[in-house]
Structure 1
Amino acid sequence: MVVPSHPTTGDKLALRRQARQHRQAFVEALDPEAKSLLEQQLAERLKPLVSQSRIVGGYCPMPAEISPIPALDVAKAAGAVIAYPAFSSRHEPFRFLAGEPSLSGLWATLEPPLTAPHVFPDLVLLPLVAIDRRGTRLGQGKGHYDRVVADLKRNGTMLIGIGWAIQLIDGIIPADPWDVPLDGFASPDGLEMFR
């Protein structure tokens, strides 16, 4: 299925803008110590899932995103392989590559070298702008994750969105045909499984 680069739903655009502003205001109000403490709490909430996983997919956070790194450290300590998205082309979906994110990729995020092993995570921690209680994820709007989550899901990967508690909304995020509902959402406040 072809996933457009930008959502066509006006409601989704407005919701993304509002959720980004809300997230940014929340993060700006945190001092570095409080932010670090919340990210450690997130790692504790995720510990039961990451400790049982063989291969965990994560990401390098953008400034307003919660960092999965403390949770990935827990997974690594339990013996899991850690993988990050890596792009070989701007026109191809990313692949999860095992290894440290040490190089600046095509989209100015750190990723493992393209020579690192391609792996298939059994658990992926996904960044998001917002998520509803049906598991509908609102991402940054470029469709990078939309292009890979359906294949991950078909291969049995557990998909857990992670973010600040304020990113779980009570309303409904309009779902497009290519949207794959996530299995759960984790924040420093807890882990909520949707299915």
Structure 2
Amino acid sequence: MVVPSLSPASADKVALRRQARERRRAFIEQLDPQDRDKLEVALAGQLAPLISRSRIIGGYCHLPSEVSPLPAMQLAADGGATLAFPAFADHQSVFRFLAGDPVEPGPWACFQPPLTSPEVFPDLVLVPLVAIDGKGTRLGQGKGHYDRVLARLRERGALLIGVGWQVQKLKEQIPADPWDVPLDGFASPDGVEMFR
């Protein structure tokens, strides 16, 4: 899939992404570490019903301002689910979900399972985001990594749940490009909202 660098909708997304990152940063700065930990454990609790119905959970290694899915991933592991994380062979490759712990640095400075780990197809994918709207349109980091993977995962029956802080849920609509795959729901420490 080719994702053009700047369509009119993409230009609007640049401004929205900048505003959403600032809102997320301001929210994080006012949290002390213990409160943040409690919120991330609360996120795991909100996700528990979805996790309990899933056999393979796709997560991610979070960036400093992103909500951590790791307490939710631990909950899934404790229930016997297989955990998977995105893994890139190089900067040009499309990522694959590989089973196992993220113990090796990948080309994008995020940890990932070893490339020799088995590829799996999660039935629940916890999707990182910069922002999301009420229709499930996701605003990501802008490199198109998830855009290249989500449609294939949905075709295989995966439930796609965006995860973030409640401040990342926008009232305004995010302009959708043709390659955008709407998410099935959004989970924050405050609750889960399903869109479809």
Letter in 2 for 1:59: Y
- Counterpart amino acid of 1:63? P
Q: Are residue 3 (structure 1) and residue 3 (structure 2) matched?
A: yes
TM-score by length of 2: 0.97
Percent sequence identity over aligned pairs: 62
The SS at the match of 2:192 is strand
Secondary structure in structure 2 of the residue aligned to 1:48: helix
Deviations 1:84-124 (A, max 9, x none): 00001211210000000001100000000000110000000
Aligned positions, number: 194
Query: In the alignment, what sits opposite 1:150?
Result: 151
Corresponding residue of 2:14 = 13
Provide structure 2 residue ranges, at least 5 long, that are not aligned to the other structure. Answer: none
1:77 aligns with 2:81: no
* RMSD (CA atoms): 0.8
Give the equivalent residue in structure 2 for 1:159.
Answer: 160
**1:98-156 residue CA offsets vs partner (Å, 9 max, x unmatched):** 00000110000000000011000000000000000100000000100001001001111
Distance 1:28 1:60 in 2: 20
Partner of 1:114: 115
Counterpart-to-counterpart distance in 2, 1:56 and 1:118: 12
The DSSP-based 3-state class of the residue aligned with 1:186 is strand
Q: CA deviation at 1:7?
A: 4.4
Matched position secondary structure for 2:126:
strand
Q: Does 1:54 align with 2:77?
A: no
The answer to whether residue 102 in structure 2 is matched with residue 101 in structure 1 is yes
TM-score (norm 1): 0.98
Return closer, same or farther for 1:158/1:14 CA change in 2, 3 Å cut-off.
same
Residue 46 of structure 1: how far off its partner (Å) = 0.0
**Corresponding residue SS for 2:115:** coil
| Residue aligned with 1:126, SS | strand
Q: Is the 8 A contact 1:7 1:13 kept in 2?
A: no
User: Match of 2:146, as an amino acid?
Assistant: Y
Aligned twin of 2:88: 87
* 1:7/1:141 contact within 8 Å kept: no
In the alignment, is the contact (CA less than 8 A) between 1:124 and 1:157 conserved in 2? yes
Partner of 2:69: 68
Amino acid across the alignment from 2:168 = Q
Structure 1 portions without partners, runs of 5+: none
Equivalence for 1:26: 27
Contact 1:51 1:74 in 2 (8 A): no
Change (3 A) 1:7 1:112: farther
